[in-house]
Amino acid sequence: MRRREFTRMLAGAAAWPLAAGAQHKLPTVGVLGVATSSAWESNIAAFTQRLDELGWIDARTLAFEYRWAEGNSDRFPELAAELVHLKVDLILTAGGAVAAAKQATRVIPIVFAVASDPVGTGLVTSLARPGGNVTGLSVQATDLAGKRVDLLRELVPSLRRFVIMVNPEYTAAARESNEVEAAARSFGFETRTLEIRTTPDIGAGIRKLDHRVDSLYVCIDPLTDTEKILIATSALTARIPTMGGFRESVRAGSQLFYGPNTERMFRRAAELVDKILRGTQPGDIPVEQATKFDLVINLGTAKALGLTIPDKLLALADEVIE
């Protein structure tokens, strides 16, 4: 064994405050994923890599239990209960699954890598002093709505009306949709709503859009996370420029994304997990807000749609996909 790896292993093992009474049981992180394992692959890789750097090595100083909701938010309570029943030492999750995890346990620490408006949704008492057993990283998705609409305007100069794809049963998505509509009104744009609740709603809904629609705005929720490829391919077939809800949406073929880098947030979440595993109470760890947002553009999709990306947008882009 390399000396560096041995040192990290000892550091991780020595840090676990509960290990003294159960030396043969590794501390276990339960991962409650809102989408599929493939949709979260890059995020989990970033998370586990950072834990490894901090001395928490899979199967040596730390164990994992994974549960995947596969875009179905109705499964959140069931999967959270499973992790609690397994007596995991900490739960990592995101989005709407945070509330289900909190409902399932008020004792096991919960770290959310991404959540929208955690104070407004009642996940924490305040950002500075969360209290209870929950902390993590916040994305004020509603605050981004105006900027995303403005970027669509830059991308499609002829923009007059666009469709908002939203799962109305997902609280954060419904809130984001309202903010998008308000931003659209401020620009003088018309909007229509495409409500989705299941996978078949996505393809069928996009196919029914008429040629008077200039663009598609996708609100964030587990279903749109899981079905990024379906959304991108359906919109491309309908020749509709799309503002994806996730960075990976653009890699899947959507036209544009503006928002936080979730891989970076999952890496930071690993650092919060490290603090808790070393004895810090989650309620004493302030909730952090994303302050850096990335602009990602897919040039291949633009070419397929016959769009010319303005030089201004290209200059601002953090990533351009050929």
Q: What is the DSSP string of 187-247?
A: HT-EEEEEE-SSHHHHHHHHHT--TT--EEEE---HHHHHTHHHHHHHHHHTT--EE-SSH
Mean pLDDT of 188-198: 96
Which tokens in the block code for residue 167?
């799962």
Q: What is the model's pLDDT at position 24?
A: 57
CATH classification number, 3-139+261-289, choose in 3.40.50.2300, 3.50.30.10, 2.60.120.1440, 3.40.50.1220: 3.40.50.2300
Question: Which of 146-155, 203-212, 248-257 comes out lowest in average pLDDT?
Answer: 203-212
Q: What is the model's pLDDT at position 12?
A: 44
User: Beta-carbon neighbour count of residue 229 at 10 Å?
Assistant: 15
Task: Give the span between the Cα atoms of 95 and 76, in whole angstroms.
Answer: 10
Q: What is the model's pLDDT at position 172?
A: 86
| Residue 137, beta-bridge partner list | 288
* pTM, to two decimals: 0.87
Instruction: For residue 241, give Cα distances in angstroms to 103, 175, 194, 205, 307.
Output: 39, 23, 15, 15, 9
User: Beta-carbon neighbour count of residue 5 at 10 Å?
Assistant: 13
Residue 158's φ and ψ, nearest 5 degrees, are: -90, 10
pLDDT band at 142 (very low <50, low <70, confident <90, very high): low
CA 142 to chain centre: 14
In tens, the pLDDT along 266-311 reads 999 999 999 999 999 999 999 999 888 999 999 999 999 999 999 9
Looking only at the bridges linking them, the beta strands covering 242-243 and 28-33 are unpaired
What homologous superfamily does CATH list for 141-259+294-321? Answer: Response regulator (3.40.50.2300)
Averaged pLDDT of the chain: 90
Mean pLDDT of 218-239: 94
Ordered by start, the domain boundaries in the chain are 3-139+261-289, 141-259+294-321
Mean pLDDT of 108-112: 98
Q: What is the model's pLDDT at position 8?
A: 43
Per CATH, 3-139+261-289 and 141-259+294-321 having the same topology is answered: yes
- Strand order through the sheet with 256-259: 190-195, 161-166, 215-218, 242-243, 256-259, 294-298, 319-321
Q: What is the model's pLDDT at position 3?
A: 42
Question: Which of 54-58, 110-114, 137-141, 155-159 comes out lowest in average pLDDT?
Answer: 137-141
Task: Give the span between the Cα atoms of 302 and 126, in whole angstroms.
Answer: 42
Given a cut of 50, whether residue 22 has pLDDT beyond it is no
